[in-house]
Amino acid sequence: MTNTADVLKEKGLKVTPQRIAIYTILKNSYNHPTAEDIYKELVVSNPTISLATVYKTLDSFCKVGLVKELHIVNEHSNYDAQMDDHIHMICLNCNKIFDYKSSGFEGLSDEISKECGFDIKSHHITFYGVCKDCKSHEE
Ligand code: ZN
Ligand code: MN
């Protein structure tokens, strides 16, 4: 396991305590936090941090491909440090974003490449619906 400082260095980023703190939060979260969510969590232990710093840091993470910015739910972007291939499922009721890892991915990419002669570099697949929790409240 490489540590966070090494991960940042590998991407050519200067290692600062704030960058380490922000990346650590993202890497350990699976709920696709917004910049505000990250800020609220950080400010408890880092009272001097600003929301602008969080935004700037997330921006530099996105630029080097450390984190993905998702524009799928509302005016606030969500951030995802899980860089392995996965599908997103978005609940139209509670707006939560869930991950789903499917082995069907590769087959579909291969099929598209073959049929269309298209070189796929990245993709973003999103399904919209109602999550299990919301469904059980509806019933
Ligand atoms: Zn829901
Ligand atoms: Mn995700």
Contact (CB, 8 A) for 57 and 92: no
Look at residue 4 and give its three-state secondary structure.
helix
* Phi-psi map region of 65: left, alpha, beta (phi>0 left; psi -120 to 50 alpha): left
pLDDT confidence tier of residue 137, bands split at 50, 70 and 90: confident
Is pLDDT above 70 for 1? Answer: no
Considering the domain architecture, whether residues 91 and 126 belong to the same structural domain is answered as yes
DSSP 10-43: HTTPPP-HHHHHHHHHHHT--S--BHHHHHHHHH
Q: Into how many domains does the chain fold? A: 2
Greater confidence (139 vs 40) lies with: 40
Indicate if 124 and 102 belong to the same structural domain. Answer: yes
Same domain? For 56 and 94 the reply is no
Provide the pLDDT confidence category of residue 73 given band limits of 50, 70 and 90: low
CA pair distance 49, 134, nearest whole angstrom = 35
- The last residue of one of the domains, among 80, 105, 126, is 80
Radius of gyration of the chain (CA): 17
Q: From ligand 1's centre to the CA of 132, what distance in Å?
A: 7
Q: Domain range holding 134?
A: 87-138
Q: Are 8 and 76 found together in one domain?
A: yes
Cα of 89 from ligand 1 centre, angstroms = 10
Considering every ligand atom, which ligand is closest to the CA of 97?
Answer: 2
Q: Does residue 9 carry a pLDDT above 90?
A: yes
Checking if the pLDDT of 2 tops 80, the result is no
Measure 90 CA to ligand 2 centroid, in angstroms: 10
Indicate if the pLDDT at residue 87 is higher than 70. Answer: yes
Query: Residues 60-70: what's their mean pLDDT?
Result: 94
* Domain boundary, last residue among 31, 50, 80: 80
Phi-psi region of 117 (alpha: psi -120 to 50; beta: other; left: phi over 0): left
pLDDT, position 115 = 96
Residues 75 and 106 in one domain: no
- CATH number, domain of 54, equals 1.10.10.10
Three-state DSSP state, 69: strand
CA of 31 to the centre of ligand 1 (A): 13
**Average model confidence (pLDDT) for the chain?**
91
Tell me: pLDDT of 39 over 90. Answer: yes
Q: Which ligand sits nearest to residue 79's alpha carbon?
A: 2
Please check whether residues 52 and 96 belong to one and the same domain.
Answer: no
SS3 state of residue 31: coil
98 Cα: distance to centroid of ligand 2 (angstroms): 6
Backbone angles phi, psi at 6, to 5 degrees: -65, -40
pLDDT of residue 103: 79
Mean pLDDT in residue range 106-135: 91
Structure confidence at residue 135 (pLDDT): 94
